[in-house]
Amino acid sequence: MTRLIVAAGGGGDAVAAAMLHAALYGDENPAVILTYAWDRLLIDPLPGPRRPTDFTGLERLTPAVWTVPAQSRPIAPAGSTLPRLAAETPHTLALLDPYHGAEGLTHQLEDLVSHLAPESIDLLDVGGDILARGDEPILKSPLADALTLAACCQVNAPVRLLVAGPGLDGELPPEEVGDLLGTVVHTFTARDVEAISSVLEWHPSEATALLAATARGVRGTCEIRDAGPPVPLTDESPTVHEVDLDDAVGRNQLARATMSTAHLDEAEAHSRVICGHSEIDHERNKALRLKEQQPAKLDPATIWAQLDQFETEARARGVTHTTFRRITEALNLNGSQRTDLRQLLVSGRPEQYDAPLWRIATQPE
């Protein structure tokens, strides 16, 4: 029997889904992980999610659902982490296409459920922004999660909503959603992380990186992209909570508003009204800025000096850890340079690598 895991926000949630399957279901048959191809501008220079026509080599699983095998490729200039993820995990990655709104997503889910007759369906969100009302001022990326929630609550099959790592996405602090968090179904451990250890060395997701780090025992305060609110890394961080699906929908205004949408632009319009913004608008604007940005050269001597300055300022802010995505941004480097930067830092100061995070030195080294 097949397990179906829906990665609520795509990207890192799909990686976390592989870890969840290993933790909860062990050596059972590989799962089908249903996910967006939405890697943001760090990987994909095109704003918004990708659809099947943005790839070559996809394989049709059902009339409405395509899989992303290891040999598939995004069509340039698009980018996607999914083919490499498919190569490094045993699971089948199936593509969520939100361009026909929540109605289209619901149809894809129903088609997949009818074809697979899965033993279980888990809807997984890392961080908990799927539980947002929509009007929270620090909420940055509610649309993807709201659409998957809207679709999952309309499919004619039981769906279990799981929130892993409350607060680790840097969008909603745990206390904002604590009243909705139900039973702890699992606490991730270092052993669970083994299932995705190779993926963590290259995948850009910050929330899943924090989830894996805390499962390995890392504690402290982490600074993430855009110098967002510092994220506490606590004993609660590696937990997975079950949440009542109806309660989540009752709280999430954007999910309720998008239930009958037949186009992504309709969903975006609701986001602008309810949340005050659309995350795809943000990506569009950022993509224009990045075209004009002149990234710094990856010169080792300059990098170490800049890193020392960044760490001095981070220590003053009470930060103990950061992500390589944040360091790339702080040093004015291009997202494409993140992997080279990571290799430089880890090889130069391996004692500061709290995989997959970077530990801020307690004093200049």
Spatial distance between the Cα atoms of 30 and 149, rounded to a whole number of angstroms: 23
Same domain, 35 and 93: yes
pLDDT at 176: 83
Q: Are strands 92-96 and 32-36 parallel, antiparallel or unpaired?
A: parallel
Same domain, 219 and 338: no
Residue 113: Cβ within 10 Å count:
17
Same domain, 119 and 191: yes
Same domain, 116 and 208: yes
Same domain, 240 and 322: no
pLDDT at 111: 97
Give 364's pLDDT tier (boundaries 50, 70, 90): low
Q: Stretch 330-348: mean pLDDT, rounded?
A: 91
| Secondary structure class of 198 (helix, strand, coil) | helix
Q: Stretch 187-198: mean pLDDT, rounded?
A: 96
C-alpha distances in Å from residue 222, one per residue of 188, 206, 326, 330: 19, 10, 10, 14
Q: Is residue 293 part of a domain?
A: no
Phi-psi category of residue 11: left, alpha or beta, with phi > 0 → left and psi -120 to 50 → alpha: left
Same domain, 244 and 304: no
Q: Is residue 266 part of a domain?
A: no
Give 179's pLDDT tier (boundaries 50, 70, 90): confident
Q: Is residue 351 part of a domain?
A: yes
Q: Stretch 311-325: mean pLDDT, rounded?
A: 95
Same domain, 177 and 95: yes
Q: Is residue 162 part of a domain?
A: yes
pTM metric for this prediction? 0.95
Same domain, 241 and 324: no
Contact status, residue 276 vs residue 282, Cβ threshold 8 Å: no
Domain count, the chain: 2
Q: Which of 203, 224, 258 is the last residue of a domain?
A: 258
Same domain, 176 and 241: yes
Same domain, 195 and 86: yes
Q: Is residue 265 part of a domain?
A: no
pLDDT in tens, 67-89: 999 999 999 999 999 999 999 99
Q: Where are the beta strands (DSSP E) in the chain?
A: 3-7, 32-36, 55-56, 59-62, 65-67, 73-74, 92-96, 120-126, 160-164, 184-187, 220-223, 231-233, 239-243, 321-322, 353-354, 357-359
Give 295's pLDDT tier (boundaries 50, 70, 90): low
| 365 pLDDT more than 60 | no
Give 155's pLDDT tier (boundaries 50, 70, 90): very high
**% of the chain exceeding 90 in pLDDT:** 82
Q: Is residue 198 part of a domain?
A: yes
pLDDT at 173: 85
Q: Is residue 282 part of a domain?
A: no
Residue 117: Cβ within 10 Å count:
10
Q: Domain range for residue 107?
A: 3-258
pLDDT at 229: 82
pLDDT at 151: 98
Same domain, 244 and 335: no
Same domain, 26 and 169: yes
Give 287's pLDDT tier (boundaries 50, 70, 90): confident
Q: Is residue 275 part of a domain?
A: no
The structure tokens listed for 123 are 């809807």
Average pLDDT of every residue of the chain: 94
| 225 pLDDT more than 80 | yes
290 vs 55, residue with greater confidence: 55
Maximum C-alpha span of the chain: 59
